[in-house]
Chains A and B, each alone.
Chain A
C-alpha cells in the first residue's frame, strides 16, 4: 500500500488542497453578498480536498502501480540532468548572458545527455545560438541579456 503511486499522488493533491483552503480563509472569505478575495480559493481548496480524498479512496480500494514501476526501465537520470541544466541555465542567464549560456546548454545536451557526433553538435549549437540571437535582437528587437559579452555586443 505504501508504495502505491496513486495513493501518493492523492496525498500530494490533498496537501495542496488543504493549503489552498487555509490560504483562502487567511486571505478573507467576506460575506456571501460580498465575497472576499479568499472566497473562491477557499471553496476550490475544499473541492480539491474532496477530489483528492476520492483519488486516495480509489487507490486504497483498487490499488495502483508502485512508485518504482513508473520509472522502471526508463532513462530517468537523463531527465534529472536536463532539469538540472535548465536550472543552471536560468541561474546564469542574466549574469553570463544569452550567448554563453545557450551555447553551453546546447553543447551539454548534445555532447553528454543524448550524444550526437561532436562536429554536428558544435555546428548546430553555434548556428542555432547565433541565429536565434541575431533574429531576436536585430529583426524582432527583443532584448536578450549580453552578460559577459556586453563589451563586444554593445
Chain B
C-alpha cells in the first residue's frame, strides 16, 4: 500500500464522527493536562486507559495519542503566562517565554509557541508517515536477538539521559524488569514472586504502578511543600508574531523540529530532552547568546518545536517495532494490548486502517490544537486559578477511581498506594521513576527474547553479536555504559542533568 492510498484510507477512518470526537476530546484533555501542574500526560493516559476500553480500538488510541501531543501544546501556555510549566517538556519555555510576557510580549510568545508547535507537529506526522512503513519492512526480519539487543539499547540510553546518577537509573531499570517478571512464567506457567497471592499471578498492573509513581507520588511531594502559586496573568495583546520575530525564529523552528524528531525516535529520548537540547543548540548558535533568558523568541520557538516534533517521532518505534521509547508510549502500548492488538511491523499489514487512521488523526489533531489554543488561552489560565488544595483531592480521587476501574480489583488500589509511597521516597533519594516504568513494560518482552535467543543458539551468547543489527545495538549500549568513564562525556552528561533538573 503506498502512502497516498494509506493516507486516504486513514482520513476515511479519522473523519468518522466518533473518531473525530475522540480526537477532539484527546487534544482537549491533553491541553488541559498540559496546563495543569501536578498532573502530566503519563498520569492522564493511565487514568483514561480503562475508559478507552468501552470504545473501539481506533477511537481509544486516537484519543490517547491526542492527549500526548495535546499536552505538549498546553504546557507552554502556563510557562509563558505564569512561569509555571504545566508539564516537564515546557520547563525550558519558562526561561524566555515568561520574560517576553513580562516585557508585554505575551501575545507573540504564545502565538509563536502555538505556530512552532503546529509546524513541528505537522512535520513529525509527515515524517512518521514516510519513515514508518520503510522501518516496518526492515523490522519484519528482526528476530529475538535483535529485539533483545534493541531493548537493552533503549533502556541503556534512557538511563544515560536521565538526571543524576547513572547507577541509580540502571538500578531502577533493573528493578522495573523484576516487577515486570512478577506473575506466572510465560513458558512454564510457574509463579514468580507472587507471595502466594492470586492477584499477582497475572502480574502487577501497569495502571496502578504508573498512577502510583507519577500521580500519587507527585501529590505527596507537592503536599509536603507549602505551594504558594501566584497566578499573575500578563497582558496578552495580539498573538501574531512580528516579521522580525519570524526572521529570528524560522531557523530555530526548523532545527528544533529536526532535532526533536530524531530525539523522539531514539529509545530513551523524548520531549523533555528535545526541548532542552534545542534550547542549548540555539543559545550556542546565536550571535547574541546573552539575550537568552531575557526574552529571546528563539528560546521559545526552538524548544516548542523540539518537544512537539519529539512527541510525533516517539510513535515510530512503537508503531514499527512494537517497542515504546518512553513511558507515555509504554502506556499507549498498554492500550493496544488491552484492545487485543500488538503494535509492530505486522500492524501496518494486518490493520492498515488503524495505523493510517492514527496518522491521519494526528494531522487533524494538530489543526484542532492550533484552533483550540489561540482563542482559548484566557480560559486555560482561569483553570490555573483553581487552588491546589482543591485540585489535589480531585486528582487523588481520579487516580483511585481510574485504578479500580482498570481491573475492578481493590488490590490494585493498595498497589497504587505502595507505588505512590515508593515514588515519593524515590524522588527524595534521587531515583527516577521513568526507567523503572519503561523497564517494567519491556521486562517480559526482554526476558522472552533472551530465553528464545538462548534456546535457538543452544546457549551460545555469541549469537547476539553474530547478527549485525543486534551487534550494533549491543555495541552502542556498551559505549553508552562506558561513556561516563570518559571525563569529557561525563561532564557533558552532568551538564545535561543539571539543565534538566
A: residues with CB less than 8 A from B are: 5-6, 9, 13, 16-17, 20, 23, 27-28, 31-41, 44-45, 47-48, 51-52, 54-55, 58, 70-71, 74-76, 78-79, 82-83, 86-87, 89-90, 93-94, 98, 102, 105-106, 109-110, 113-116, 120-121, 124-125, 128-129, 132, 136, 140-144
Query: Does B54 make an interface contact (CB < 8 A)?
Result: yes
Cβ of B21 to closest chain A Cβ, rounded Å:
14
What residues on A are CB-neighbors of B458 within 8 Å? 33
Which of B275-283, B304-312, B416-424, B465-473 makes up part of the contact surface? B416-424
**A93 close to B410 (CB less than 8 A):** yes
B202 to chain A, nearest CB (A): 15
Say whether B200 faces chain A, with CB atoms less than 8 Å apart. Answer: no
Which residues of chain A are within 8 angstroms of B420 by Cβ–Cβ distance? 83, 86
B416-455 near A? 1/0 per residue, CB < 8 Å: 0100110010001111000000000000001100110011
Closest residue of chain B to A53, judged by CB? B167
Q: Which residue of A lies closest to B187 (CB)?
A: A37
Q: Is the CB of A86 within 8 A of B190?
A: no
Given contacts A83-B417, A89-B413, contact A55 B224 (CB under 8 A): no
* Contact A90/B223 with A48-B174, A109-B392 known, Cβ cut-off 8 Å: no
Of listed A33, A37, A116, residue having the most chain B CB within 10 A: A37
Least distance between B346 CB and chain A CB atoms (Å): 26
Which of B33-41, B236-244, B393-401 has 4 or more CB atoms under 8 Å from chain A? B393-401
| CB-defined contacts of A110 to chain B, threshold 8 Å | 389-390, 393
Instruction: Given contact pairs A55-B167, A93-B410, A144-B401, enumerate 10 new A-B contacts (beta carbons under 8 Å).
Output: A20-B193, A37-B185, A51-B171, A55-B168, A70-B429, A71-B224, A110-B390, A116-B390, A132-B397, A142-B50
The answer to the question of B475 belonging to the interface, with a C-beta cut-off of 8 Å to chain A, is no
Q: Which residues of B contact A (CB under 8 A)?
A: 50-51, 54, 165, 167-168, 170-171, 174-175, 177-178, 181, 185, 187-188, 190, 192-193, 216, 219-220, 223-226, 387-390, 392-394, 396-398, 400-401, 404-405, 408, 410, 413-414, 417, 420-421, 424, 428-431, 446-447, 450-451, 454-455, 458-459
Give chain B residues whose Cβ lies under 8 Å from the Cβ of A45: 178
A133 closest partner in B (C-beta): B401
Contacts of A16 in B (CB 8 A): 175
Query: In the complex the two chains form, what is the Cα distance from A140 to B171 in whole Å?
Result: 40
Q: Which residues of A contact B414 (CB under 8 A)?
A: 87, 90
Asked whether, in the complex, the Cβ of A38 is within 8 Å of the Cβ of B192, the reply is yes
Contacts of A109 in B (CB 8 A): 392-393, 396
**Is B192 a contact of A37 with CB atoms below 8 Å?**
yes
Given A9-B431, A31-B459, A109-B393, residue A36 in contact with residue B413 (CB < 8 A): no
Interface of B: prevailing SS: helix
Other-chain residue from B51, B185, B397 in contact with A106 (beta carbon distance below 8 A):
B397
B392–A90 touching, CB < 8 Å = no
B188: contacting residue among A37, A83, A121, CB under 8 A: A37
Chain B residues contacting A37 (CB-CB under 8 Å) are 185, 187-188, 190, 192
Which 4 A-B residue pairs are closest in the complex by CB-CB distance? Answer: A32-B459, A33-B459, A37-B185, A109-B393
In angstroms, how far is the closest chain A Cβ from the Cβ of B55? 10
Indicate whether A105 sits within 8 Å of B397 (C-beta atoms), given known contacts A41-B193, A75-B223, A83-B421.
yes
CB-based contact B459/A141 at 8 Å: no
User: Would A114 and B389 be within 8 Å (CB), given that A20-B178, A23-B192 are in contact?
Assistant: yes
Question: What is the minimal beta-carbon distance from B211 to any residue of chain A, in angstroms?
Answer: 11
A98 to B410, CA, bound (A): 11
Compute how far the CA of A6 lies from the CA of B165 in the bound complex, rounded to whole angstroms. Answer: 11
- Chain B residues, CB < 8 A from A33: 454-455, 458-459
Neighbouring A residues of B401 by C-beta, 8 Å: 98, 102, 132, 136, 144
Q: Take A9-B431, A48-B174, A51-B171 as given contacts and tell me if A34 and B455 are in contact as well, using a CB distance cutoff of 8 Å.
A: yes
CA distance A41 to B144 in the complex (A): 19
Q: CB within 8 A of B400: which of A6, A76, A86?
A: A86
Which residues of B lie under 8 Å from residue A52 when comparing CB positions? Answer: 171
* B223 and A86 contacting across the interface, CB-CB below 8 Å: no
Determine how close the nearest CB of chain A comes to the CB of B163; give it in whole angstroms: 15
A3 to chain B, nearest CB (A): 14
Contact call B396/A27, Cβ cutoff below 8 A: no
Q: Distance in Å from the Cβ of A29 to the closest Cβ of chain B?
A: 12
Chain B nearest CB from A118 CB (Å) reads 13
**A23 near B193: Cβ-Cβ < 8 Å:** yes
Complex contact A140–B51 (CB within 8 A): yes
Partner of B174, one of A51, A82, A124: A51
Listed by A's residue number, 7 A-B pairs whose Cβ atoms lie within 8 Å are A35-B451, A41-B192, A48-B175, A74-B225, A86-B216, A89-B400, A115-B389
Q: Note all chain A residues with C-beta closer than 8 A to B187.
A: 37
Complex: A54 Cα to B168 Cα, angstroms: 9
Report yes or no: B188 in contact with A36, Cβ–Cβ below 8 A. yes
Does the CB pair B392–A114 fall under 8 Å?
Answer: yes
How far is A17 from B414 in the complex, measured between Cα atoms in Å? 23
Q: Once the chains bind, are A40 and B224 in contact (CB under 8 Å)?
A: no
Q: Which B residue's beta carbon lies closest to that of A16? A: B175
Residues on A with C-beta less than 8 A from B410 are 90, 93-94
